[in-house]
Structure 1
Amino acid sequence: MMTVNAELALDNEKAELTLTDFDSKVIIFYDKNEFTDFKHGLFLFFKDKKFKSIQSTPDHKNIPTADTMVQIIPPQTLDNDDLKQCLTNIAKGKSLPELTEVNEPSQVEMYDYLGKLLLLLEKFGFTFTQKKRTPAKAQHRWKKTLSEIEFFVDDFHSQATVIWQKRNEFLIKKGAHLRPSYSLNKDGSVGLGARMGTQLRDEQKDKIQNFITTEDIILKSVNEVGLFLYFGGTNSWLVLKDNNGQTIDEWSKVKK
């Protein structure tokens, strides 16, 4: 467990922390009028506790839009430019091990200092790393023309012909070959896809013989089709393809 040893001086305008393990100070300014020393260290700017920018010599007349400014006065043994570059890269989502070669003696202190500095900022509620936006989940829409197209599966030890005949109906034609077995998780347990796929097969067991379907089977979604045929584990919208290799995803994805 990492421990940060620091002395704190606090008033209404700022919080000044002296890192006793290093010759270093971190000063958090809550009032711009108190922010007067632009000659020493690095300067971090936060808006609503979220990191906005970092500067080494900020222009007093052109301070970035921010409600809190943090002045970092690092140990004299650390290079300001190196520290600034490391903090910039961390803000972009890189991790400490990616940035510092800890087997190099000159980087050991940098690694240690950065770790404690980031922990300190985190405990004061500052978000340094920008969260990456999660891409919006693709939306698909059924249309009547889709009911006239055969989509094929020939992968993951399975083969099938599938028709999206209604909005919530996917027909798997008689004679589909099901993947005979599933892989276990690394710890030897049965994964969710395997359990769900097995359940779907149990519901249709009177229509399956030797892993081949003996009748047409109706399922409710592309996801169920993938679980039934090959226990899922991949994006089935990209697996089902027409005669020309165009995926069911390309046929039905809603364009924004």
Structure 2
Amino acid sequence: MTTTTRSPRPEPRRRHIAGIALLVGALFASVAGAAVTDPFTAHFKVNRGKIGLGTTTFSLARAETDNCYIYSGRANPNALVRVFIGDVTDESRFCIEDGTLRPSRFSHHMQDDAEDSYTLDYDWAARQVVYRSEAGKQETMALGEQGLDPLSIQIAARRWVADAADPDSLGEADFSLVDEDETKTYTLRASDGGTVDTPAGRYETLLVERVDDDKRHLRFWLARNAEWIPVRVEHQKGDGGVFRMSLTGLERPDA
């Protein structure tokens, strides 16, 4: 088993756009509340300023095993963005074991991009995770007590909010995740988000934002009066403009 520590790498433009749509922009993209693992399908529109980039859809479903789930996302770029990227699909398989979220497998696929398409296979007994790219690269990394993937971290963070007696007093919390062949830590802070208007309606919100990285601004507005549904997500990297996701529809079969 090998464990590696890597310095930050510049992101290609096409991966940056896709990451906004799926891996970053979708944080908390599910139905919050007392049971954050209830099935749902959520739809978002994605814009950079006034320019529409396409749509993103996320779905959470129960797996065959009790307390196990499948969380998936699909970014559908419009004709303009399709010049840079094709469809992007992600899937996380995870279970809740003794109150702890444990991923088992994560896959990220970018159309016509084998280098940036990859899987993560978790072995919690051996405390390791194996990264494999579609281009043939492989890396084995050590796992600590927590090692979320880019989708399951969303569920973990939502549980943090939903389980709080007073979400406004949560302050900050750290979340460790495996992203491609390196590990990262996100520090999230919760505060009042005010009133937010979206195509799906007007919501009183809780603002959750990433505060550990001055160069990447991530903000998520969760609806207080709609079981912590994310209604707006914003991402800004440097001077590259603000990318925004806005909720356009939500389906909850158990509601």
When normalised by structure 1's length, the TM-score is 0.24
Whose relative contact order is higher, 1 or 2, with alpha carbons under 8 Å and at least 6 apart? Answer: 2
Q: By percentage of residues, which structure has more strand? A: 2
When normalised by structure 2's length, the TM-score is 0.24
The higher radius of gyration belongs to 1
